[in-house]
Amino acid sequence: MRTAALLIFLVVVVSLGEALQCHFFKEPYAERVADCEPEYDVCMHFKNPLEELKSCEARENCENMEFSLTRPEDILKCCTEDFCNA
């Protein structure tokens, strides 16, 4: 029983130590990979005919951005898997 508890604890600690990885892009810079800071728990991809952004973001900020989209051509994707904002 002790071994199982220790194993579960180690898995949780190791998984918490891994940073989310997202694509990062803001014109005019080249796209790159970003290791997200702990407070940024989602990958974000925003696109419309005039601009495109990819970055790490806080889930709350992403939810707020969704409510502020007013044009049908504005596309926002927030996701939690590594590199999901391709």
- The residue segments making up the domain with residue 55 are 20-79
Q: For residue 7, what is the enclosing H or E element?
A: helix 2-16
pLDDT at 7 over 70: no
Q: Is residue 40 part of a domain?
A: yes
Residue 50 DSSP label: S
Q: Is residue 9 part of a domain?
A: no
* Average pLDDT, rounded, for the chain: 86
The residue assigned the tokens 């969704």 is 66
**CATH number of the domain where residue 74 is located:** 2.10.60.10
Structural domains counted in the chain: 1
Q: Is residue 38 part of a domain?
A: yes
Q: Is residue 63 part of a domain?
A: yes
- Give the mean model confidence (pLDDT) for residues 7-30: 72
Give the global pTM: 0.75
